[in-house]
Chains A and B, each alone.
Chain A
Amino acid sequence: MKAPRGHGFRNGIVRVFAAHPSIRGPMESLRGLTSSPASAYDELVTGQKSIRYHWQGILSVIRSLPEGELAERVESARRQLRESGATVNLLDDRGAPGWSFDPLPFVVAPDEWAEIEAGLVQRAALLDRMLADLYGPQTLLADRLVPPMLVHANRHFLRPCRVADGTPPPRYLGQYAIDLVRQGDGRWHVLADHTELPSGIGYALEMRRVLARSLPEAFRSIPVRHLRPFVDRWHDALAAMAPADVAQPTIGVLTPGALSPTYFEHVYLARSLGVPLVEGGDLVTRDGQVSLKTLAGLRPVHVLLRRLDSMFGDPLELRADSQLGVTGLVESTRTGRVTLANALGSGLVQTPALMPFLGRLSEKLLGEPLTLPSLDVWWLGEPQAAAYVMANLDAMIVRPCLGTDREPIVVGMLEPAERTALVERLKAQPGHFVAQYPVVPSLSPKWSEKELSPASVVLRCFVVAAGDGWRVLPGGLAREPMGGTALASLGRLNGTFKDVWVLTEDASDIELPPSRRFHQLAVERGSADLQSRVADNLFWLGRYIERLDNDARLLRTTAARVAQGAMGPRDAAEIRLLGRLLARANLVPSSAALAMPGTAAFQQGLVDVASETRALAGLLDSIQHLTGTLRDRFSADMIGAVGPLLADVRQTLTGVRGNLDSLLGALDDIVRFVATLSGLAQENMTRGTSWLFLDLGRRIERGQFVINAALGAFGQSPVDWDAAMRIALELCDSTITYRTRYLGQLQPAPVLDLVMLDDSNPRALAFQLRSIESHLERLGHASGAYVRGLPATLDTDLQDVVRQFGGEEQAWRHEGLALVRLRDVAGDVGQRLEALSGAITRAYFSHVPAAQAVGSVGGD
């Protein structure tokens, strides 16, 4: 349906809104409700107090919702964003969550967007040309179009990336983000250019996804341009940046890793583009070629969407202390065998100090005037500009423009002494500073829990290179900046985010996804393209999850007995035994674990496991970290489930506070958390190499648990047979099976058969060994690298042991030999499992030892 238009409708909608109790006030005008200067442009209402045409659609949709419905939808949308990790991962400098979500989009009319789009394309072309010159012939310096200092003293200028005899990249800018503000005169101005790490597009895409689910009726009735076609074409454009002779280029998203505040976006982009997410450690350079380390060996990579700071890109030629880069990357770019989008060093042109010069540069380089103006910025390196700034300093905002991006300084708010110090700095190093007047962004409606209210808005737009031209995302990320002034939050993604709706004249304008040119893909199963690092992380995630489960079961078994209170001799014997197992597993300090059952010391040791410094919390940390780094490997459902569940588990664990019943509750939560995780992995992961590593980790760990805990119960001297058998069954979750099979009469042969030999029991040792054997076989087949499994004689050994307990009761109760044999074989299996873990590590994970820098000292 077309957006309705015409005066009649416009008047109608104003009336409709005026009648709505919750939004009557704000709709009159946004301006009356804000402390912002009267000069702020009103996005919603015209000077004649009528609602602007392009806002009427969304307001009408909101109006049509039943009372309270919008609030509910907002809550659901925010929950979805939390679950996808979008709002969680983006942290600002102080570690606080970076942003919140406003369901009310920022709406842009078609004709206005056309102007913005043209301006963005022109600016992208200009900055790209400038980079090509400044990393090339530098005629812009010779022709006095760019002050040399803005290059020479700019921390983003990477000298190794300018080599006379190298192959220049096809494009310097593959991706580019621009912050725009609309000033009081109604014109859009550029607030900031982001050419180094243009973040935000992933958040824009995710917000759109969530909003489309929360407000589906809006997208049915309002002609909003879609974002998906942009992403599909972006993939094709990236592929086209590969070296000309590569038919099927491999693309990757290069990320600094899970600690990056915008890691969510890196994962999101890799997924949206359908390409691997890679870290520096996943890549090696050989023969001028950058390759991905996979299980099956090295696989060439041709295009990298770079989200790693250039300076950390190559420890050989850039920052030597970088642990995140790829040794030899700069040299690889010189040979043209790999294209980085953006090229290394692309941050050079994002300094605001260049803004005063862009008008002339546009005339010279493009032969046309700059259509999208920058905000007025004065670079103090020019004497006239410096004189102007000094004369008007108290009304201005000053910021360093060449070094690390630091907070802007609002001169009017300085103490006299601070102001004097600032003036001295400005005089000593004028070229390092720019000054500008405070920005008054336009006001746009936002949803503030109960009603609409006006808020400042900064618009972040995204441009990517596409063939010879550029493509602009028909949408973007609008935000209400934190801290009042738009300048204070420059370059940071924080505040309140909202989707950007670009309207079309009519639905036929809506771009459909391109008819993709499909390459003939070979049908593949159990891909060996898995990165070695990812395989390593999956394996250890498997081990940690299983270890968490085992620890929780062991603790729960103990705590449940202690919590019963009145303790018979049988309970005491079992608890004593469990205490030894707990001490052995390092879960409870020996002093407490070996204390008499029922004493306060024992109980205290038990409840202390919930403390944040203890093993359980450490395991939860590791699991959280690994699931974080593996986000791109799991389905959205898994990611969505793990985050909140993990948070819940932590909460119940911290809530224990010395209470035994609370501890039992928390342990139940942990067991259920692991069960959920297992269920999700079981039902949602294809049985490819990823799953094999995850499960291999679990099987090895569970095998160890059977040996150390369940069979460990028989390791005490003298053996308390009844206690040991009951505990072995309980720890292997096999009590009920045993009761069903043997009607409760405990004897060692059937007990040991059930926990050791019965390969239909998923907690039995044999089940683990079978799975390990089959997994290794499949991994060897997929990757071509085989790891020797456990020897076949192990099975016979295990069977022999169990058989020895099959005789008369007198025989096994007093026959020490059978017991010795059991302990020997169990110990042997344990050692072999640990050795196997090492063999898997050597075969599949980091074949490559850690890199270190070497350098000769200077002369004498």
Chain B
Amino acid sequence: MSPELERCSRNLLICEKSNFRDERARYDIHVSKHFFNYKLSMVIPECASLPACIAGVIQTFSSYYRVRDLPVYKFLQEDILQKVVKNGHFYALSYNTRIDEDNTIAFLPSGHLIMSVNKDTYEQLGLEGKPSQYTHRKVQRYVVNVDLTDKSMTPGAKTYQRLITSLKEWVPLKSDFLISMKMTAEDDGGALQTLLSQYSFEEYRPTLQTHTLKETPCPSLHSSNLHGDEKSCDAHRFLEWLGAVSMDISCNNEASSFLSTYVCPEPWSSMSQGLLCTVTGFLIPEDIHSLLLELRHYFDQPKFTSWLSITVHGFADSPVSWGMTEHGFLKGGENFYNFVCFENQDYWLHMATGSHDGCPP
């Protein structure tokens, strides 16, 4: 067989181990830089139902909006720009646009506007951008990154006017958007509501699903052994197991099963019951951070398990993965991170990306 066929496409997995109490721990930065998340799934072994405090935190997750056919320049109007886009907690991502086929637009909480556009649109836009890193032979896609907090982008300035003219007259880009914003004390989202009310939009709440796992084999983990040895399993195989559990794939390896021959990695022990809890929606890092804080307190009372895990999946078609690292979609576009929290406040953080993606931080 040809060697190319045996080769798996490129993927990156970064593993780190630290302690939540450690001042140098950078877990909160990694969480806050992964802007666009569509799903989080928690696995809590030896737990029958979702603890009330965790359910409470999920209840407080921000709702998000889906608005149809919104022109991009509307976000750049003076009052929206000042009150909404630059408030530091505003997230918007074009919806139903594919990063490998369409123009994709994202507003980051840092006040950046990222537009990943194809060559024709780029040439018509007349804005400054860079060719996409994941170009094949000929450049077909460009990334325009505009820092809206920059001085030259104050309404009235020349560059600002140019941006507006580009997006309003030359290429009236519009798209469906997913929008979420963390409300702060001084801002009640009034300006955003006024903008949305001009278009057809719906408000959604993140949906929560729980599922109880019965008599499932579960790999043994020891907080000190990140890379795995005979006493605990390594990161790749653990993530694979997590995937199998969340997809409800049988790990029994029965001879009669033609569907799956997957086996739980060694060494494993059987857990009598476990909780799999999934939240889907347009989830913002602030909410995930507060959930993570709550999960740390899960071990305040003694529990039967020594670890729990939380995985956060990013949108496959987002133009960025972590921070402003360009993201692309070759075959899967996966970008996710996973925390394994241990009893002694140690944690493992796994960050993974697919073929067309920069290295996670």
* Mutual binders A and B: no
Q: Which residues of B contact A (CB under 8 A)?
A: none
Q: Which residues of A contact B (CB under 8 A)?
A: none
